[in-house]
Amino acid sequence: MKIQEKFLTPNKFSRPQIPLEKVTKIAVHYVGNKGSSAIANRNYFENQKNGGTYVSSHFVIGLQGEVIQCIPLNEWSYCTNQANGYSISIECCHPDDTGKFTDATENSLAELCAYLLEKFNLTADDIIRHYDVTGKQCPLYWSPTKYQSKEVADKRFEDFKDKVRKLLKTDKPPDVAELFKVRILDPVLNIRKNPGINSEKVGEITDQGVYTIVDTAMVGSVQWGKLKSGVGWISLGNKYAAKL
Ligand SMILES: [Zn+2]
């Protein structure tokens, strides 16, 4: 996914430069103008500077999956009503009246959402529809309408979030380069659910064997390592383990 930066000219209607202090949601929209391109929608926002409507979005994704960024991530967009103050907005183009996204658009949307969730330390549950904020049928294909029940609409949205979950780094197998082995020095080394001695004990290592570490974290000045088995974390302090 390549992001093309085509920032709007600052103006009160579409790029008011209000600081976006904290991002807690990623809001998805459909443009509601079938067959229109990403650049056409971006230019529509740009043209509001001449006196128009308070409307814009951080990103527009086109029918071929192209991604245009209209507004920096530390500024408000006018897209999601009362959620403007805490959300990044993404408008998606669509080929017809159903509002269904093309595969290319949806794939870019999933990649962009995964990128933003990691950047702002959020989870897939923090992706919202415009519908969830105001009840507006947006994105249309993921909202209850006379063409689809709430169950069908919600399922489509849930399936999309699952697609994003698969892209999140935390769900991926660790990079081989991050793996290393340690020999356990402590005769009885506690395994904890999370890094740190305050975390729940979930087991112990008593064989002073060699173990593979797949992830690390610092707790104070002490490095902790995640066991490849997935059971939990061990202290990698000098007294407890030696890197091989
Ligand atoms: Zn919307």
Q: What is the DSSP string of 108-154?
A: HHHHHHHHHHHHTT--GGGEEEHHHHH----SGGGS--SSS-HHHHH
Q: What is the pLDDT of residues 178-220, one digit of tens each?
A: 689 999 999 999 999 999 999 999 999 999 999 999 988 889 8
Which residues are within 8 A (CB) of 98 and not within 5 positions of it... i.e. 6 or more apart?
140, 141, 147
Q: Separation of 166 CA from ligand 1 center, angstroms? A: 25
Residue 44 CA to residue 37 CA, distance in Å, equals 11
Domain with residue 185: its CATH number is 2.30.30.40
Q: Separation of 242 CA from ligand 1 center, angstroms? A: 54
Span of 6-15, 116-125, 165-174 with lowest mean pLDDT: 165-174
Residue 179 CA to residue 160 CA, distance in Å, equals 31
Same-domain pairing of 109 and 228: no
Q: What is the pLDDT of residues 147-185, one digit of tens each?
A: 999 999 999 999 999 999 999 976 545 555 568 999 999
Give phi and psi for 153, each to the nearest 5: -65, -45
Give phi and psi for 45, each to the nearest 5: -60, -45
| pLDDT score for 220 | 87
| pLDDT score for 193 | 96
Same-domain pairing of 112 and 156: yes
Q: Separation of 158 CA from ligand 1 center, angstroms? A: 18
Q: Separation of 157 CA from ligand 1 center, angstroms? A: 14
Average pLDDT, the chain: 94
Q: Separation of 133 CA from ligand 1 center, angstroms? A: 9
Same-domain pairing of 55 and 164: yes
The last residue of one of the domains, among 131, 152, 171, is 171
Q: With 90 as the cut, is the pLDDT of residue 101 above it?
A: yes
Q: Separation of 140 CA from ligand 1 center, angstroms? A: 9
pTM over 0.95: no
| pLDDT score for 175 | 52
Q: With 90 as the cut, is the pLDDT of residue 95 above it?
A: yes
Q: Separation of 30 CA from ligand 1 center, angstroms? A: 6
Residue-number span of the structural domain to which 61 is assigned: 3-171
Same-domain pairing of 82 and 20: yes
Same-domain pairing of 26 and 92: yes
Number of independent structural domains in the chain:
2
